[in-house]
Amino acid sequence: MKPVTNEAMLITYADSLGGDLRQLHELLDGELVGAFGGVHVLPFYPSSGDRGFAVVHYDTVDPRFGTWDDVERLADEYTVMADFMINHVSIRSAEFQDYLAHGDDSPYREMFIRWDEFWPGGSPTADDLDALYSRREGGPVRTFTRADGTDVQLWSTFFAEQVDVDPFAEATQAYYRRTLGRLAQLVPIVRFDAVAYASKRPGTSCFFVEPEIWRVFDIGTEPLREAGTQVLPEVHERYELQLAMAERGLWVYDFALPMLTLHALMTGRTDRLAHWLRICPRRQYTTLDTHDGIGVVDVAGLLSEDEVDLVSERVSAVIADSRHLVRGREPVIRRSGQQARRYQLMCTFHDALGDDDAHLLARVLQLFVPGIPQVYYVGALFGGNDLEALAAVGDPRAINRHDYTVEEVRERVALPHVALFLDVLRWRNRCAAFDGELTVTETGEPGGLLLRWTRGGDVAELRADLLARTWEITATTADQDDDAGAPVTLFRSLRSGDQG
């Protein structure tokens, strides 16, 4: 299999680009050739809900998408990232169904967290509930009826098709060893979905609780070590948590970048973004958008609340006329009794910015941020809000989950801004300078930002004007022939003329 490399990675569902894994592979080799060295295929296992994230089992690939042979062929040519739900399983899983059938006699009884056994005294106090980091009304608990008619309350952080597991129970660890041991033989990196919620202790937020969270990482990574498979934890919260994980040698996400980029392009201010680029982890995967939308909570401490509200309100205004299509509540988070705040923004990154020029600049900026750029498939194709999908399912996240036919992909990649972005990706994947050091300079002009990567004689430089939405990329290579060794202009924004 192909190992992790410093090349752009596409994020996509198995069926969102052409309909299945085989067609995805053909598009990567064809219309998208050279643009991506890796692909994060969102959950491709049999699932009972949450578009793949309520995994029934990891033994097979959902036959609608393909087979393990398709995954292995893809992994031979591209760095494949796969998901593992370390915090929860589907309520349709064999383990949970066995528990419902046999109750306390089930070998999986300790795998699931009984609400009354978790809390001293059998139930949480008002202070306990206030302290929880909660994603939904009513708290992270649901009532299930076992085969003998007994009702039991179990910890359930997310959706109705998912139930949490106790990572410290031997039954859970055996489940981890079995499933992760197989994944380790097939892919070089595994994403631990919702891992921060797996650390729970009474009287705490039950989210990224120390030292429990580090034990969770030790337990989860143990089945991967022999194969050398790496881990990417998915943790949406303040940037200090990403720094803490990075200090322990873990890959991390740059989930602060989306809001910082939107703020910079909406206001023309470079200081917030520049500060982050100077202090952010270097061993990270960068994003602008994901299948869940545009994260908001991750930028706390890097933008003020007023600045967060400015960006959030502008993006929310874009979809204001479509809110009647949403069934249920939009994502919010409650921290330690505080007022609920937006958790994610439901909008494509393109429509959040409003035009192709701003969106292209955002994408190019991401390619100069430290780390491996992950590009969500809708963003890569400069896709707009899918109101038909939103109306069909009512889930606000559907607005950013359009499924493209092969013909649609071909039409999108021919668009000037998309074609230019793909060319910049191809160059970035080959440029040795991005394995070097980054210098961040605010030019002193309003909206002016200069990002310069240097590795020996290889230099890559992006000069951008965030107010005008113009930019230019120049480069110098160690084996350059010209006498002066002057930088060569490779790409520039479409507003400023033809390409070099």
Active-site positions read 193, 234
Residues 396-416 as b/e (b if ≥16 CB within 10 A, e otherwise) read bbbbbbbbbeeeebeebbeee
Query: Angle formed by the axes of helices 406-413 and 416-430, to 10°?
Result: 80
Question: Pick from 348, 266, 358: which is nearest to 303 by CA?
Answer: 266
Question: Pick from 435, 375, 3, 377: which is nearest to 189 by CA?
Answer: 3
Rounded to whole angstroms, the Cα distance separating 491 from 462 reads 9
Question: Pick from 347, 343, 371: which is nearest to 359 by CA?
Answer: 347
Query: Angle formed by the axes of helices 68-77 and 21-29, to 10°?
Result: 20
Rounded to whole angstroms, the Cα distance separating 17 from 402 reads 9
Q: Which amino acid is at 116?
A: D
Question: Pick from 369, 358, 372, 361: which is nearest to 460 by CA?
Answer: 369
Question: Pick from 14, 157, 51, 163: which is nearest to 392 by CA?
Answer: 51
Distant-in-sequence, close-in-space partners of 196: CB < 8 Å, separation ≥ 6? 207, 208, 213, 233, 235, 236, 237, 241
Ranges of H-type helices in 286-397 = 305-318, 349-353, 356-367, 377-380, 387-393
How many residues are listed for the chain in this entry? 500
